[in-house]
Amino acid sequence: MANYIFDFDGTVADSLPAALKVFNAWVRNREPVGDEELEHLKNLSATQIMKELGVPKWRVPSLIVKGRREMSKHLKEVPVFDGIKDVLDKISVPENKLFIVSSNGNRNIKRFLSDNDLDKYFKKIYADIGILGKASALKKVVRDNNLAKPETYYIGDEARDVIAAKKNGLHSVAVTWGYNGTKILESQNPEKLVSSSKELIRALSN
């Protein structure tokens, strides 16, 4: 028996291109983020990214709310990452429990999962989490569902996901296909670092 908690954006949903489109549409006093700058930003922490983009901390909550609303207009453009359905098929046996923890909105996530026939896999969604609130959200998932920590994995694409998993004593599995780059993920020493769905299946099967 095992429990699998998935991050959503950058782990299940390939939403970075749509998110970048939304952000660049907001830009007024700087050049839009291009490919070269994006690769640089992907290896920074969330706090460092906000500083580089000139976003003051006090604006973050309102921007998250606005971002969720804008992303809802682009959901049809967002694909599921290659191989994720295979991963979910492999680990979705009756004795296992699967969850989602995300900063994205509950309505967006439910709609995306339904549109892509993924809703059948997940027991519950914990959404609308603050950008720095992953650790407390994971604690709530574990407590609410009486999950055994040694049997619980958190799969995410950002350094903050690895940090949150470690704070809660969960297995940390980082994927390299999302919002953060390999360099910053490696710096947090996740238990497993994977770059393909096949590697993810192996990491979750051990």
Residue 180's pLDDT band, with cuts at 50, 70 and 90, is very high
- Check whether 18 has a pLDDT greater than 90: no
What percent of the chain is modeled with pLDDT above 70? 95
The pTM of this model reads 0.92
Flag whether pLDDT at 206 surpasses 80: no
Let me know: does 99 contact 125? Beta carbons within 8 Å: yes
Give me the mean pLDDT over the 131-146 stretch. Answer: 91
More confident of the two residues 52 and 17: 17
What does pLDDT average to over the chain? 90
Using the predicted structure, report yes or no on whether residue 108 has a pLDDT greater than 70: yes
CA angle (117 as vertex; 115, 119 as ends), nearest 5:
95
Minimum mean pLDDT among 1-15, 56-70, 92-106, 111-125: which range? 56-70
pLDDT, tens only, 78-89: 999 999 999 999
Residue 75 clears pLDDT 90, i.e. is over it: no
What mean pLDDT do residues 25-49 have?
81
Q: Are 200 and 11 in contact (CB under 8 A)?
A: no
Is residue 132 over pLDDT 70? Answer: no
Q: For the sheet containing 3-6, what is the strand order?
A: 124-126, 97-101, 3-6, 152-156, 171-175, 192-194
Residue with the larger pLDDT of the pair 43 and 69: 43
For the four alpha carbons of 29, 32, 36 and 40, in that order, the dihedral sign comes to: positive
How far is residue 200's CA from residue 4's CA, in Å, rounded to a whole number?
12
Residue 29 confidence class, pLDDT cut points 50, 70, 90:
low
25 φ/ψ sector (left φ>0, alpha ψ -120 to 50, else beta): alpha
Question: Using CA atoms, how far apart are residues 133 and 84, in angstroms rounded to an integer?
Answer: 25
All structural domains of the chain, each given as residue ranges with its CATH number in brackets, are 3-14+79-205 (3.40.50.1000), 16-76 (no CATH)
